[in-house]
A and B are shown apart, each in its own frame.
Chain A
């Protein structure tokens, strides 16, 4: 539950909702990178595991005034009184002080799901079934990410395996700092429209910091005070208004 104001880095994202076409390649790339198994036969959109999930949202108007936006929703890496971190009874979630990334330890998770109740962004997913891999695909799993079994919660961790790989590469080259281009989460890498910009928010000169401060950039549920590190951008006023509105208002 530490404040991350004094973190060395604060990795975050700015997602341009006007660029997002809702193709879904980010969701598939995330699943492939993080060894998330395909849905069990009976799984639904409420019991599936989608660390990154793109929500289609409509402006509520009738045809042809109807307009839609696609909102990629992932773990917001909350930096202030991180809800899931403060409620986990066995410290199976922690904020990494050097990166600001909220990391889940599935091996320690009891599966009590209190963190899922606490998360207002619904960014956490539970393994209601044992993950079932089509026969043969076990050989195609990413060796950098531990697979989970049923009964634990899991969520986006900004492709932590890639951060490790970048650090290893830097160490091998004798550098202390990783090269920014070496650490790119799968969703960012795969987006055809470059709708997701990723980087260190603590570095005020880079693109993600600049975009996070630009006009028409907003966050979801800012009044909760969780200090999320995901920013959204849209030139469409109805989108920004919708994001600001209380649910059911």
Chain B
């Protein structure tokens, strides 16, 4: 009891004391605060917080998270242009993170161009189309509305049925920008079901000299190619051999080994292009006078008997040609084209005394030379006896395709004006572009109906009524057929690296839908893959050629393959099929002038080198980089971020021409032609011949393109398109803007 009382008393005393207010002085408070701060410095807290702030600045949400996962490698091929280079893709978690060439590959020699290196980014281009669209009107200003494939097919059904019954109001045409594929054959089959149906190939999709030679050789069998590996002299009229011609690996390797292989490149071009810089000789020619030069060279060869004797007998128009070239003396031509007569003579001798090849090349934006010029350039090969000769022009069998249609293919320029009521443009790009007016004039007077199959919203879409999205680069199984100018036929598969969105449309599926809408039975294959299997089947049946592994480590003749599956499996692993069949016999009766008559050639027609007044507007482009939509955004390194490549919307003019027109470097100028005018920025460039406006057609970051409007056409809209379909040189004036 006593303890309880004492305890209670103590407890009461404690509670009494507790009731008194705490007497904490300010000093004690400050001391406590100061002590806490000092003490905290000895704990990890402030240092860790400081460190964390640093880590925080390294991990903001703006910084992307890197992909993690298993690393694999896939052999595939690039289909951005007809060159068809082999690709080794490094993948993380299945996604491609880098693309490189395949060392040891026989055709592409381990090389990829800048477009290919960034090819895996194209599927995510801001201008990439993921679903079908319909345009509300024609022209670059008309916005898009979403649509579906079925909707488009049902919209077109009445027209298709109408065309099937009669082509009086216009017919159907397919414009193929990448002919030679098995899909191309499908297009041909499709249009052959319609009266007057046209299968056209786009400018730049085929080698111009070889196309012209086919006419001169009067042959439809076989494929022409250049035997560059055995040639010693290449006379190139502007073919960009170093910078966007066929498969880059082929020419670059040959040119880099000139010390060993003795090859000489003579480049004829009005600007010191990258190819001209690497050439052994650059002939700085006044654009438009190439025919005169070719005829002057031909004249030297004829007069000095440098040609194979048999040509005089086998070519039906030899004497016409001889008379013609006698009017093109080197001294006279030198004054017109700017190449000294001694150089003309030396060139002729070099061509005649070595295995040689004469070629021209479409500029990706400037297009072909006029057909008269192309003829005499190609004709030099005939004169020199290059056709069918080692180190010259080869005529080899095409890829085996026994079921192929033989319906004709026409160049776009040859399509009759105002004849096309419904145009289908295939989406695979040739890497080249052309003026929209060239297309427009083929459409019926009411503008026709255009269905554009394309993965990207490009400037060409301005003519479209419907946009159907084909798969973007590396999204679907595609074909790599024989590159332009190749020595032998070849075939490979481009295996996809990315997942194709569900709303994209397989081109064969589109055809099947349109066939259905027109009331046609099936066109055959419904998917590109089935087309490709058919081709592999045809190759296997033919027993021709060998299949090489991508690195060239082993080769298996098709003949030795047990089954078709073995071939398909090899192709699906990135294998490359190359033909080994013997060349075809060349028709000996080759013409030198083809359909051209001597009155087409007038050396006096080239205007004098006048730098004031009228100038020559010549568009210039880099293959696969003529439109903003065609280059991956990271290519800005070459354009905006370094000016290594010139942006679209600029014109390069020789400083003397600028001065003669009272303009300065960097000034904005107004360029006027008969077709209109536009403003561009002038760049003083001494590598461009005076008197020429070297207009760049290329990507432009400040263009009007957006997700729902195609970009404006630019300088190509000012070009005058001739009857033969060329638009390369247009008369223009410049003034301060």
Contact = CB atoms under 8 A, between A and B. Distances in A.
Contacts of A103: none
B634 A38 contact: yes
A107 B58 contact: yes
A28 B622 CA distance: 15
A247 to B, nearest CB: 19
A216 B123 CA distance: 45
A166 B137 CA distance: 57
Given A24-B637, A28-B635, A62 B656 contact: yes
B124 A136 contact: yes
Interface residues on A, range: 35 or more
B27 interface: no
B640 A43 contact: yes
Given A27-B638, A58-B687, A194-B256, A134 B277 contact: no
Contact of A31 (B248, B637, B689, B702): B637
A211 B112 CA distance: 26
Contacts of B689: 63-64
A204 interface: no
A68 B632 CA distance: 27
Interface stretch (A44-52, A76-84, A172-180, A217-225): A44-52
Given A143-B92, A147-B63, A192 B655 contact: no
B124 A149 contact: no
Contacts of A135: 124
A64 B97 contact: no
B678 interface: no
B117 A29 contact: yes
Interface string B110-141: 01111001101101111000000000000000
Contact of A22 (B64, B65, B274, B690): B274
Given A38-B633, A134-B633, A136-B124, A50 B641 contact: yes
B641 A49 contact: yes
B252 interface: yes
B642 A45 contact: yes
B656 A45 contact: no
A63 to B, nearest CB: 5
A170 interface: no
A68 B114 contact: no
A56 B644 contact: yes
Interface in A38-94: 38-39, 41, 43-45, 48-50, 53-56, 58, 60-64, 66-68, 70
Nearest to B688: A63
B606 interface: no
B482 interface: no
B62 interface: yes
A66 B632 CA distance: 32
B197 interface: no
B97 to A, nearest CB: 5
Contact of B637 (A23, A48, A140, A141): A48
B536 to A, nearest CB: 30
B644 A33 contact: no
- Top 6 nearest A-B pairs (CB, nearest first) are A48-B641, A38-B633, A39-B636, A64-B284, A136-B124, A138-B64
15 contacts: A28-B114, A45-B642, A53-B642, A53-B644, A62-B655, A62-B656, A63-B656, A63-B687, A63-B690, A131-B62, A140-B95, A140-B96, A140-B120, A147-B66, A192-B252
Given A62-B656, A186-B98, 10 more contacts: A23-B274, A27-B638, A36-B634, A39-B641, A43-B641, A48-B641, A61-B686, A133-B64, A135-B124, A149-B57
